[in-house]
Structure 1
Amino acid sequence: MTTDAAVLPRSEVIGWRNAIFVVFALAGFAVASWLSRVPAVRDELAVSTSVLGFVLLGLAAGSMVGLTASSGVIERLGAARGLLVAVAASVAGLPIAAIGSSVGSPVLTFAGLAVFGFGNGMWDVAMNISGAANERALGRSVMPLFHAAFSLGTVIGVGAGSLAEALAVPVIVHVSIASALILVGALTATRWFRSERTAETHDEVRPDWRERLKVWGEPRTLLIGLLVLGMAFAEGSANDWLPLAMVDGHGLQNDQGAIVLGVFLAAMTIGRLGGVFLLDRFGRVPVLRTAAAFAVVGLALVIFGPTPAVAIIGSVIWGLGASLGFPVGMSAAADDARMASARVSVVATIGYLAFLGGPPLIGILGDQVGLLRALLVVVVLVVISGLVTGAAREPKPAVPKA
């Protein structure tokens, strides 16, 4: 795991890339394994929508702590070993949260989600840092494909969750099996990881903590963070609330609500797979603006659609629109290899504010006006994201000296 990315044989770069695909997919599978059972968890806890929102806040709060701690851990251990630390926390937290749900304890469920979130936040930074380094070693854009693997993992996770719901499998049994599979998969995949450091960054003075802290004052980095915040809110609000919105707002059953989430996540996967070609052809800014427009239209159909069928079509358009904001934001933050880790950390932290504030905000509004109307907040944030997409524009190529 110590060979420089810039001097790796092509076969090792490809093996590393494939291992990153697996790790992204496992991350999506982990999150979806929990989110697909949220309706069942609400029934087990027997709490209101607003209380459930604060329980789900444990996941976001833990993620913020994990994001904050990730820089020091990854700097000391490297992305591969740091990722294994993150996975260990994740697979410990999921069963704890499920135990809390099974005994009707919102506090224990919150605690388990906080541990899971801590691992999830660190996992996110570690795999994106390794993914950006692999992208540079390959010499082509692959970050949306990595995030497509994440989406594919969520589709598989939601499918397994829907099946578990239909078969009345207890949440604790379901997530314990999922945790074991995740741990085995991560231990296997990271054997093919390579160092994220490159020969060229070895030759440069590495940024100290003061220089890394100054990144928080860079207008471009903050605008990219705002872009990611809005699109992460669009993605996260669907993960947290789309199944319940379809159940409470459109009259579907719990298992049908989980299936609609699967449809949304499948649309996100398709958007990320096709997004690489659109980005190469049209560039980041036009594609991101179009994606924001798609998300707004899809949300409107889900919120105001007169029938479940129209709302499901809206969830597809919403998923396509929300698919590219986060991965393209990560790529834009990593344009400068030397400062990539600092800027990716800042952008990811800002983006995760959506997961921190989203669950309770939508939950509180949902109690007052219904979950569907509460999603209008997401529309506003997506519009703002669409207005700041210019910050993600590709850097101009260096002009050769005469």
Structure 2
Amino acid sequence: MPDTPAPTVLAARNAVIAMFVLNGTLFGLWASRIPTVSVKLSLDPGALGLLLLLMGGGAIAAFPLAGRWVDRHGAATTTVWVGAIHALSILGIGLAPTVSTLAAALFFFGATHGAMDVAMNSWAGAVERRLPRPMMSRFHASWSVGAGLGAASGFVAIKLGLPLLAHGVLVIGVVAAVCLWLAVPPATSPLWAPAPRIDAPHAPLFTLPKGQLVLVGLIAMCASLGEGAMADWGAIFLMTTTGVSEASAAIGYAVFSVAMVIMRLGGDRVTYRLGPMRTARLAGGTAALGAGLAVGIATYPVALVGFALMGIGYAVIMPLAFSRATNDPILSPGKAVASLATLGYGGLLMGPPVIGFIAEVSSIRVSFALLMALAVLMASLAPALRQPDP
């Protein structure tokens, strides 16, 4: 394979980056305006939690549908169309006048977000196969950059007193318009052309992972469970075990997130040199070491180091898993990515309740010890991430 990809491949690479940025921006926008919506509709924590769970349910419901569309119409076409719909879906949240209409808007937002997740990862895998080096980790880093941009736009909008609807319109008019423009095909290319229909006429809509992909799904679930736990319980862990203030505890997740983005920017280089299996083993060991430090030496500085190591360890796992899924020898790319995403989102949804239950019956330190065990499991399952022979 030549070191310098063809112009159409480079254009497709840039288009995929734009779609990851768009998806991340819309998620960051929503996350930054959750307090606004909560205050507007007087939501208590329980009601907000149910609404967020409903959004996750929308994503899971959309995964198999998106996988089928990818296989029938092509990953690129599906990504662009779903991306445009997903951008518009943020307006429904801004327009929702009641809790029931907000529930419907969030379910739809989650569904389009999940469908776009499947489609853009499938497209990313197709583009990565045409590139001389791995690229999936940088695609996922682009998502993190977009999420940061969306959150920053929320900060500015709140400072300016912009309602969510106006904020959404501005983001659609600037970020979504630019990203979708970059995703328009420059010329006829197999990286934009629809894929042939693979499914039989009466093929089941929902397909579970098969073969080695089951183990890849378990790896993805372990990583996403850890990410969800860090997002929802990291600050509480620091406050409970190290006695720091709420403000100091909030720094923990920031350290985790920054470490993850930095590692994702360089993760492809590590994968190119070490290969997927050794990279995953090193990542799992790093995450386990970080969790062990945080749990075993419960001081604030050491815990922050542990959080950074966990961010570094988790950073490359999902990109490696999606890259392996798009090259699965048994399932079509759309179905493989959809089944993997279902397990991944399952871990993300299960993580916080599982950590909370264990903390309730024992302690937060014991619950975080589970993350160390799951990181060791990720490392032990690393051989499943080997790319199959062509």
CA shift at 1:392, angstroms? 0.9
User: What is the rounded CA distance, in whole Å, between the counterparts of 2:365 and 2:175 in structure 1?
Assistant: 33
Say yes or no: does 1:33 pair with 2:26: no
Asked if the contact 2:68–2:205 (Cα under 8 Å) also holds between the matched residues in 1, the reply is no
Which of 376, 381, 384 is 1:383 aligned to?
A: 376
User: What is the rounded CA distance, in whole Å, between the counterparts of 2:319 and 2:333 in structure 1?
Assistant: 14
Residues 1:264 and 1:156: Cα distance change in structure 2 (over 3 Å)? farther
Which of 37, 41, 44 is 1:47 aligned to?
A: 44
Asked if the contact 1:54–1:360 (Cα under 8 Å) also holds between the matched residues in 2, the reply is no
User: What is the rounded CA distance, in whole Å, between the counterparts of 1:132 and 1:192 in structure 2?
Assistant: 17
User: What is the rounded CA distance, in whole Å, between the counterparts of 1:172 and 1:242 in structure 2?
Assistant: 31
Which of 277, 281, 284 is 1:289 aligned to?
A: 281
Q: Which residue identity lines up with residue 137 of structure 2 in the other structure?
A: P
Asked if the contact 2:244–2:300 (Cα under 8 Å) also holds between the matched residues in 1, the reply is yes
Asked if the contact 1:59–1:117 (Cα under 8 Å) also holds between the matched residues in 2, the reply is yes
Which of 61, 66, 81 is 1:85 aligned to?
A: 81
Gaps of 5+ in 2: none
Please name the residue that 1:71 is paired with.
Answer: 67
Asked if the contact 1:57–1:110 (Cα under 8 Å) also holds between the matched residues in 2, the reply is no
Residues 1:386 and 1:37: Cα distance change in structure 2 (over 3 Å)? farther
Residues 1:217 and 1:238: Cα distance change in structure 2 (over 3 Å)? closer
Residues 1:252 and 1:235: Cα distance change in structure 2 (over 3 Å)? same
Say yes or no: does 1:324 pair with 2:316: yes
- Give the secondary structure class of the aligned counterpart of 1:344: helix
- Give the secondary structure class of the aligned counterpart of 1:322: helix
Asked if the contact 2:63–2:342 (Cα under 8 Å) also holds between the matched residues in 1, the reply is yes
CA shift at 1:87, angstroms? 2.4
CA shift at 1:287, angstroms? 1.4
Instruction: Out of 65-74 and 39-48, give the one that drifted further.
Output: 39-48
User: What is the rounded CA distance, in whole Å, between the counterparts of 2:270 and 2:333 in structure 1?
Assistant: 24
Asked if the contact 1:296–1:383 (Cα under 8 Å) also holds between the matched residues in 2, the reply is yes
Say yes or no: does 1:141 pair with 2:134: yes
Asked if the contact 2:133–2:268 (Cα under 8 Å) also holds between the matched residues in 1, the reply is no
Which of 104, 115, 126 is 1:111 aligned to?
A: 104
Which of 216, 224, 227 is 2:219 aligned to?
A: 227
For 1:255-334, list aligned pairs within 5 A.
Answer: 257=250, 261-300=253-292, 306=298, 309-334=301-326
Say yes or no: does 1:252 pair with 2:249: no
Instruction: Out of 23-32 and 308-317, give the one that drifted further.
Output: 308-317
Using structure 1 for the length normalisation, give the TM-score.
Answer: 0.77
Q: Which residue identity lines up with residue 47 of structure 1 in the other structure?
A: D
Please name the residue that 2:343 is paired with.
Answer: 350
Residues 1:168 and 1:286: Cα distance change in structure 2 (over 3 Å)? farther
For 1:202-213, list aligned pairs within 5 A.
Answer: 206=198, 208=200
CA shift at 1:231, angstroms? 1.1
User: What is the rounded CA distance, in whole Å, between the counterparts of 1:372 and 1:33 in structure 2?
Assistant: 32
User: What is the rounded CA distance, in whole Å, between the counterparts of 2:120 and 2:103 in structure 1?
Assistant: 25
Q: Which residue identity lines up with residue 109 of structure 2 in the other structure?
A: F
Q: Which residue identity lines up with residue 221 of structure 2 in the other structure?
A: L
Using structure 2 for the length normalisation, give the TM-score.
Answer: 0.80
- Give the secondary structure class of the aligned counterpart of 2:246: coil
Q: Which residue identity lines up with residue 311 of structure 2 in the other structure?
A: G
CA shift at 1:21, angstroms? 0.9
CA shift at 1:263, angstroms? 3.9
Residues 1:378 and 1:340: Cα distance change in structure 2 (over 3 Å)? same
Q: 1:52-98 CA deviation, whole Å, 9 max, x = no partner?
A: 43322122111111212102333444323322332244334434445
User: What is the rounded CA distance, in whole Å, between the counterparts of 1:162 and 1:53 in structure 2?
Assistant: 22
Please name the residue that 2:147 is paired with.
Answer: 154
User: What is the rounded CA distance, in whole Å, between the counterparts of 1:281 and 1:87 in structure 2?
Assistant: 33
User: What is the rounded CA distance, in whole Å, between the counterparts of 2:88 and 2:236 in structure 1?
Assistant: 26
CA shift at 1:308, angstroms? 5.1
Q: 1:281-332 CA deviation, whole Å, 9 max, x = no partner?
A: 2221221122122223334555677565544433322211111111101111
CA RMSD in angstroms, aligned pairs only: 3.9
- Give the secondary structure class of the aligned counterpart of 1:138: coil
- Give the secondary structure class of the aligned counterpart of 1:113: helix
Gaps of 5+ in 1: 1-8, 398-402
Asked if the contact 1:129–1:196 (Cα under 8 Å) also holds between the matched residues in 2, the reply is no
Q: Which residue identity lines up with residue 246 of structure 2 in the other structure?
A: L
Q: Which residue identity lines up with residue 125 of structure 1 in the other structure?
A: V
User: What is the rounded CA distance, in whole Å, between the counterparts of 2:169 and 2:238 in structure 1?
Assistant: 27
- Give the secondary structure class of the aligned counterpart of 2:327: coil
User: What is the rounded CA distance, in whole Å, between the counterparts of 1:13 and 1:99 in structure 2?
Assistant: 39
Instruction: Out of 387-396 and 16-25, give the one that drifted further.
Output: 387-396
